[in-house]
Structure 1
Amino acid sequence: MACEHCTQGYIVPGQPQGKMVNGAYLHPAPQGSITKSRAIVIFTDIFGLPLKNCKLIADALSSRVGCDVWVPDLFEGKPPFTTDELVPILPDTGKPDDRMGLLRKLRLILLGLSRALRLYRARPAVVDARAIAFLKGIRKERMYETVGAVGYCFGGALAIRLGSGNVLDSIVVCHPTHRSLSTIQAINIPTSWVCAESDTSFTKDLRDESERIFAARKDKPEYVDYEFKDYRGTVHGFAARPNIAISGLLEAYQGALQQAGAWFDKTL
């Protein structure tokens, strides 16, 4: 089941400038880029490739970092939710302390039940294998030396799971739909965390415990570079589907992009 904010959000203005390559979106490294040896992969939220926001993020990161940025189709053309269902179930007032009433909870449950088969087809065992195959494929074909991934919501959980699989060199995790501390503890590559002020999936308690896990490795062989950044006045989904009409959310969205770009500049 998706969390209460997973099926809400907004379409960011702009037109993608990249191209489709074998079913994936690619924004190539800008002309004049110093190196072609690194790449970034975007793991989308539950709306997948049809929501153009992920492509615009790819364009921005490619220009910012100066490398190829890919967006694979995690759902093989059938994301669990469509862009037509992007209308918020929750009132998007920009207040992190807003809570969903009984009627909206029922609407969310009914929406999830109506997408049960597609959600089953997007279970970790299936999506992880699909993502790993994609990563291995572009490494071999494009001869990348380092590959990083930034994941949003559903894709954030995927980035966490692959953070210990020897297929990535660095990750950025944005408000993940994830609740397993053991998987977070297994991460063994540099990790940057983009955290919402209010998140019913990646809660404050889970966020704080995750940071303690990374901090406890200091001066130990298993230490990896990490950072946690919190964005006030935001909820789950802001880095992927912000309502830019609300004061402060455009700045938070852009801040998350800058954070990801700076992290990959540092770690790839």
Structure 2
Amino acid sequence: MSFLSFSPCCVKGGILPGVPRGDYDTSTLKKVGGYHVNSSDGMIGDGKVALVIFADIFGLQVPNCQILADGFSDELKCHVFVPDYIPNPPPNSAFTQVAKTFPEEYANRPWYISLIEWIKTIFKAWKWIPTFLFQGNQIRLAQAAVDNLITEGYTTIMSIGYCRGATILEYLLSSSSNVIQCAVLCHPEPKPRLYNHINRPTIWNIPDHDTFFKSNEVDILKRIMGKKVKDQGLEFECFVHKDTVHGFANRPTLDHEATKIAFEKVNNDAIEFFKRHLLQ
């Protein structure tokens, strides 16, 4: 089953086609703004079920998570919120010549061309280094976004995060004040010190060509979380997706077959996972 109905040839540079149909609100002193969308075909759980999507480092300026939110809202028949939790996100365009969208993309490019592209990228992106390195304010705003939903009366909160958003989810899930009931994490950074504190159902999706999450770190995740499966019956799954790179689950190149397969699997698995936990 296709999660989103568009042709792979429509996807250019990892940007999903379409116009988000939801609404945007802006931040205030007490509320984190972002993108909101409801199902176009009724709502379950008395309208008190919400899915929070935490976008990657490029935030809401790339429309992909809003397009995904539209699809999730219709599939799950619930409210979906994509919070604007990254102040001053870097532009996606600054990294298009160095960030692979599939493993062999630059295999035939001479090494000196790659070096030149990296130098050009550093000159363009240096001012966003604090955004990449310092996550504290992003964690605070992400937590505030979830807390706002609770204040508004939502009783079931689920979440899916992509890249930086998945890393932020690791922090939120490990917090003693966590109210997220289940989560899907797609290509996060490894944070082993947090795993012992994560006690909610999760699915983890890791590319096999990941700059951040190496195979030995996958083994650590599986060992720690697998012990909880055995001792506590905790629901946990970890998939390593063959022939994919960081970003495949929300900024896919769909004319690359392995990426297309992984993109569809991740998001369809997420739908089935969330449906199991919607009314718990």
Which position in structure 1 is the counterpart of 2:136?
125
Code of the aligned partner of 2:246: H
Which position in structure 2 is the counterpart of 1:59?
70
Which position in structure 1 is the counterpart of 2:163?
153
Task: Kindly report the root-mean-square deviation, in angstroms, between the aligned alpha carbons of the 2 structures.
Answer: 2.4
Cα distance in structure 2, aligned partners of 1:21 and 1:149: 19
Larger Rg: 2
Q: Relative to total residues, which structure has the larger helix share, 1 or 2?
A: 2
Cα displacement string for residues 117-146 of structure 1 (whole angstroms, at most 9, x for unaligned residues): 4446xx2221111111111111111x1111
Which one of 188, 193, 203 corresponds to residue 182 of structure 1? 193
Shift of 1:171: 1.1
1:173 and 2:185 aligned: yes
Code of the aligned partner of 1:244: L
Shift of 1:44: 0.6
Cα distance in structure 1, aligned partners of 2:156 and 2:231: 24
Cα distance in structure 2, aligned partners of 1:129 and 1:98: 40
Which one of 59, 71, 85 corresponds to residue 82 of structure 2? 71
Change (3 A) 1:91 1:128: closer
Cα distance in structure 1, aligned partners of 2:62 and 2:97: 15
The correspondence of residues 107-118 of structure 1 with structure 2, limited to 5 A, is 107=120, 109-118=122-131
Report the more deviating stretch, 198-207 or 29-38: 29-38
- Tell me if structure 2 keeps the 8 A contact 1:96–1:198: no
Aligned length: 253
Cα distance in structure 1, aligned partners of 2:167 and 2:76: 23
Partner SS, residue 20 of structure 1: strand
Which one of 42, 56, 61 corresponds to residue 53 of structure 2? 42
> What TM-score does the superposition give when structure 1 sets the normalisation length?
0.85
Shift of 1:163: 0.8
Change (3 A) 1:232 1:135: same
Code of the aligned partner of 1:113: W
Report the more deviating stretch, 95-104 or 199-208: 95-104
Which position in structure 2 is the counterpart of 1:260?
270
Cα distance in structure 1, aligned partners of 2:230 and 2:128: 46
Cα displacement string for residues 3-52 of structure 1 (whole angstroms, at most 9, x for unaligned residues): xxxxxx52111221211134310111333233222111011101100100
Cα distance in structure 1, aligned partners of 2:106 and 2:185: 23
Change (3 A) 1:43 1:62: same
